[in-house]
Structure 1
Amino acid sequence: MKLPYIITDKILKLVTSISEKIGEINANHLYKPTTELRKKNRIKTIQSSLEIEGNTLTEEQITALLDNKRIIAPVKDILEVQNAIEVYHDLKRFNSNKIKDLEFAHSILMKDLIKNAGKFRTTNVGIVKGSKVEHLAPGGTMVKGLMNDLFSYLKNDKDLILIKSCVFHYEFEFIHPFVDGNGRMGRLWQTLILMQQYPVFEYLPVESLIKENQQKYYNKLSESDKLGQSTPFIEFMLAIIFESLNQLLQSQNINLSTKDRIFLFKEKIGSEKFSRKDYLQNFKNISAPTASRDLKWGVDENVLVKSGEQRLTEYRFI
């Protein structure tokens, strides 16, 4: 089944630019952030995605909940965050191509927030913004068939995963398969679709940029509705993805500490011997003296063992 959208020049340019950024991230071994950064990005993702839906909790409050500390906030908001923490804790448990996994994820995300969490709606719904109906979703009797078609597209269509993830996100919001929680589920599932091919997306807080462009996000959903195709939304989401990757490259290359670099390189090189030159090729934005200081730190901390002298110096992780 081919869903309605057009591959425009803008989409092709964005896909090319995103692919280049992913290549750069992989070359610099930045696709798996340090533990502290992973936690920080996960918190940003949860806070942003829920704030779009009206949740009031701050990043500091979500951090406290992650650390099992008590906070003062509306019970519903706390529950939304706790559920989101549980879903995002191990995204790899879900298969993006399985409807049952989507229903299971929704049952966790909306646990104790709505009746029939994890079950597709059978009633008719409309999305109201202010005093007008913004979107009249397909009838409840159509939901199951439309979702089967959508997952068939996801599994079988030959288009690039970058494009398919955006199409899925739009079509999911259009179908509005659950009574509530569709916005956060659509964003979550696009992340899952992307990360199963590109690991960098597991901890990339794309949602924080969507939040910053929240009105445009809704406008592009609405524009696509009116056009009867997801093209405007695909262009918007690809631009958001590109900017998220760009920010990752800028911030992570700058903010990595000596310890961060050493342990990132350990994951890449394993137990193989390497030279300072090898280390520099992996972190192209640092100077030779900085590389020498990093490696000295590794030796002093008994993380690395050093052999040879001057140009013949080699290192190996213990």
Structure 2
Amino acid sequence: MSRYQPPLTLTTRILALIAEISEQIGQLTALDERLQTPQLRRSNRIRTIHASLAIENNTLSIEQVTAVLAGRRVLGLPREIQEVRNAFATYEALAEWRSSSRADLLRAHELLMGGLIDDCGQFRRAGVGIYRGEKLVHMAPPPSRVAHLMDDLLAWLGDSDWHPLIVSCVFQYEFEFIHPFADGNGRMGRLWQTLILSQWRSVLAYLPVEAVIREQQDAYYAALSAADHLAESTPFVEFMLQALSVALKEAAATESVTDPVTDLVTDPVGKLLAALHVNGPLKISDLMAEVGLVHKATFRANYLKPALAADLIEMTHPESPSSPAQKYRLTPHGKQTAARLKSA
């Protein structure tokens, strides 16, 4: 048994959240065969990658991330495009990693950060501080201690009999505290939590909890800071458990759809597909008129982005998303789905 035990105080909030999440997972697992279509899994993975990279200041939109992964040309910084490709390859290899293996952790980091930093796949060899703006909020342990601290943490992970939900959250906090790599620590910590959770319940492999963290980014950093001040992970565990609960609620919201063809097709997306099926490629202003909307933000959030993420529609000029000539058209998958929706 590992002798290292990360400090944690079990609170009534933690226990309540575990009970709530366990019930949600049961409900989602019952729906899994119907809801976890390849298209939905890909959509959730794209949301995961976009959000995890956005937290680290990657500026690509979800439309651009979708286009990159579809092999289309995108106008963006080469580094940011490489980050997307690396992240997708790493998440796709998730089932290959053993969560308590140092070698697998290093291999995953090498895949995630390949071509982005010189020492990918290696623990850092220099000191590092974590800043928010110009303020130093955390000084990570010296590099001479990193390997030993990580070995202790991984040994604890392999031996722990704590609830997997708690283990995954504690691990992410301890990992961020050690900050074992020169770069990529945030995305690696979130990746490894997904790995731990997916090894407990496979339905969680595609849960885009990173999208919830992205929406609650200030609270995410505040929870990390509070845990640092307390010298235990309790505030961060509470934050992450509620984020998991929110992500599960969003995933379960798709249960109202009963036909596998329309797993990704909400009413707004269905209207969008119908408009493009009848009219062919349209500019965003024409699309909004077709579906009867005047508020662009609402249209983007409820119609355009879900359809793009699900690979149902695509841009006619993906290399220049803001082009005045930009139109949207059905993909082959979108054409098939639109036709089946029309005949349903």
Q: Is the TM value for this pair above 0.5? A: yes
Which of 126, 131, 136 pairs up with 1:128?
A: 131
Q: Distance in 2 between matches of 1:226 and 1:55?
A: 29
SS of the equivalent of 1:29 reads helix
Q: 1:5 maps to what in 2?
A: 8
Please, which of 48, 73, 77 is the counterpart of residue 74 of structure 1? 77
Say what the alpha-carbon RMSD is for the aligned residues: 1.5
The reply on whether 1:212 has 2:246 as its aligned counterpart is no
Deviation readout 1:32-65 (Å, 9 max, x if unpaired): 6111111111100000000000001111111111
Distance in 2 (alpha carbons) for counterparts of 1:243 and 1:195: 17
**What stretches of structure 2 of length at least 5 have no aligned partner?**
264-339
Gaps of 5+ in 1: 262-300, 302-318
Query: Structure 1 residues 74, 259: CA separation in 2 closer, same or farther (over 3 Å shift)?
Result: closer
Q: Residue 169 of structure 1 aligns with which residue?
A: 172
1: CA distance, partners of 2:121 / 2:190: 16
Q: Within 1, Cα distance between the matches of 2:65 and 2:34?
A: 24
Measured after TM superposition, the shift of residue 258 of structure 1 is 4.8
Q: How many correspondences in the alignment?
A: 261
Residue 257 in structure 1 maps to residue 255 in structure 2:
no
**Structure label with greater radius of gyration:** 1
Give distance in 1, aligned partners of 2:174 and 2:35. Answer: 30
Shift of 1:173: 0.3
Instruction: Write out per-residue CA displacement over residues 62-114 of structure 1, whole angstroms, 9 at most, x where no aligned residue.
Output: 11111111111011111111111111123101111211111101001111111
**Matching residue within 108, 111, 117 for 1:108:** 111
TM-score, normalisation: structure 1: 0.79
Moved more, 219-228 or 55-64: 55-64
Once residues 29 and 182 of structure 1 are traced to their aligned partners in structure 2, the CA distance between those partners, rounded to angstroms, is 31
Map 1:226-305 to 2 at 5 A. 226-250=229-253, 252-259=254-261
Query: By how many angstroms is 1:115 displaced?
Result: 1.0
Amino acid in structure 1 at the alignment position of 2:32: H
Partner of 2:54: 51
Q: Secondary structure at the match of 2:100?
A: coil
Amino acid paired to 2:259: S
* SS of alignment partner, residue 58 of structure 2: coil
Whole-Å Cα distance in 1 between the matches of residues 223 and 166 of structure 2? 15
What is the alpha-carbon distance in structure 2 between the residues aligned to residue 232 and residue 258 of structure 1? 39
Q: 1:195 aligns with which of 192, 195, 198?
A: 198
Distance 1:10 1:52 in 2: 26
1:186 counterpart = 2:189:
yes
Sequence identity, in percent? Answer: 46
In the aligned structure 2, how far is the partner of 1:24 from the partner of 1:224?
31
Query: In 2, distance between residues paired with 1:24 and 1:61?
Result: 33
> Deviation at 1:30?
5.2
**CA 1:258–1:206 in structure 2 vs 1: closer, same or farther (change >3 Å)?**
closer
Structure 1 residue ranges, 4+ long, deviating more than 6 angstroms after superposition: none
Deviation of 1:202 after TM superposition, in Å, equals 1.0
Tell me, yes or no, if the aligned pair for 1:31 and 1:200 is still in contact at 8 Å. Answer: no
After superposition, residues 14-33 of structure 1 pair within 5 angstroms as 14-29=17-32, 33=36
* CA shift digits 1:120-166 (9 cap, x unpaired): 01211111222221110000101001001101110112101100000
Equivalent pair of 1:86/1:108 in contact (CA under 8 Å): yes
TM-score using structure 2 length: 0.73
Distance in 2 (alpha carbons) for counterparts of 1:258 and 1:195: 23
Compared CA separation, residues 32 and 141, structure 1 to 2 (3 A): farther
Cα deviations by residue, 1:192-237 (Å, 9 ceiling, x for unpaired): 0000111111111000000000010001001000100000000000
> What is the CA-CA distance between 1:255 and the residue it aligns to?
3.5
Q: Does 1:36 align with 2:39?
A: yes
Amino acid in the other structure paired with 1:257? D
1:61 correspondence with 2:64: yes
**Aligned with 1:4: secondary structure?**
coil
Secondary structure at the aligned position of 2:5 is classed as coil
Query: Residue 41 of structure 1 contacts residue 203 of structure 1 at CA under 8 Å; is this kept in 2?
Result: yes
